[in-house]
């Protein structure tokens, strides 16, 4: 997950000593994490080793440099090519440009059937998850709370009145539909959305 239970509880102003609803809050947070992954087309944004099968016809060769476009980003290291440990040094034998473009000085592979596999490390260490991913997961989780918990934790309150004092929090215009709100929210995830490059 990109947010911790502690962060979620802090956002809801729940004391760390109050563990009454920890189980359901953890499930809701995990569900929100899966929603983000689905919207963005990834398994996870946490750093992991990925193996891809590459069509050799899609290797772009420019002035004897071999360019391979990988699916996950940012790529941090190349581990294996065709199941063999790759010993090349980043910055000397290869470089990563535009977060997912691996550029090799030379490239050697058996190219069985015109394809080869490449194993590489990509995405973020758990301590380096971007803050906006953490915040979006918490926001989605708040929207997924059951009504009873929303009321208990005062989520979604639009106004309150105490004697003659009344305060309204950011009331949305009646012309703004729930679809508009959904698409403006998911727009925040656009920069993280994954896709396969067609070369």
pLDDT per position as a tens digit, 162-192: 566 665 544 444 444 445 545 556 677 887 8
| Whole-number pLDDT of residue 173 | 47
| 57 — pLDDT class (breaks 50, 70, 90) | confident
Angle, in degrees to the nearest 10, between helices 22-40 and 131-144: 120
> Buried (b) or exposed (e) across 24-54, using 16+ Cβ within 10 A?
ebeebbeebbebbbebbebebbebeebeeeb
Cis peptide bond prior to 83, omega within 30° of 0: no
- Which residues on neighbouring strands pair with residue 195, listed in sequence order? none
The single residue listed with the structure tokens 């993280």 is 192
| Residues 138 and 11 sit within 8 Å (Cβ to Cβ) | yes
**Average pLDDT score over the chain:** 82
Q: What is the pLDDT of residues 80-92, one digit of tens each?
A: 998 899 999 999 9
| Residues 189 and 137 sit within 8 Å (Cβ to Cβ) | no
Helix, strand, or coil (residue 84): strand
Q: Where are the domains of the chain?
A: 5-43+127-192, 48-122
> What is the Cα–Cα distance from 71 to 64, expressed in whole angstroms?
23
């Amino acid at each position: 997950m990109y947010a911790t239970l502690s962060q979620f509880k802090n956002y809801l102003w729940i004391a760390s000593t109050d563990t009454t609803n920890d189980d359901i809050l953890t499930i809701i947070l995990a569900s929100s994490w899966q929603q983000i992954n689905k919207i963005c087309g990834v398994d996870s944004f946490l750093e992991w080793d990925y193996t891809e099968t590459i069509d050799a016809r899609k290797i772009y060769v420019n002035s004897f440099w071999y360019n391979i476009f990988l699916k996950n980003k940012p790529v941090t290291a190349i581990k294996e090519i065709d199941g063999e440990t790759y010993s090349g040094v980043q910055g000397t034998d290869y470089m990563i440009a535009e977060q997912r473009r691996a550029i090799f000085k030379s490239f050697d592979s058996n190219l069985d059937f015109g394809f080869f596999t490449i194993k590489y490390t990509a995405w973020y260490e758990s301590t380096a998850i971007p803050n906006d991913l953490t915040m979006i997961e918490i926001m989605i989780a708040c929207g997924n709370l059951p009504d009873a918990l929303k009321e208990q934790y005062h989520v979604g309150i639009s106004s309150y009145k105490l004697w003659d004092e009344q305060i309204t929090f950011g009331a949305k215009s009646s012309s703004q539909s729930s679809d508009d709100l959904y698409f403006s929210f998911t727009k925040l995830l656009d920069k993280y959305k994954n896709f396969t490059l067609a070369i």
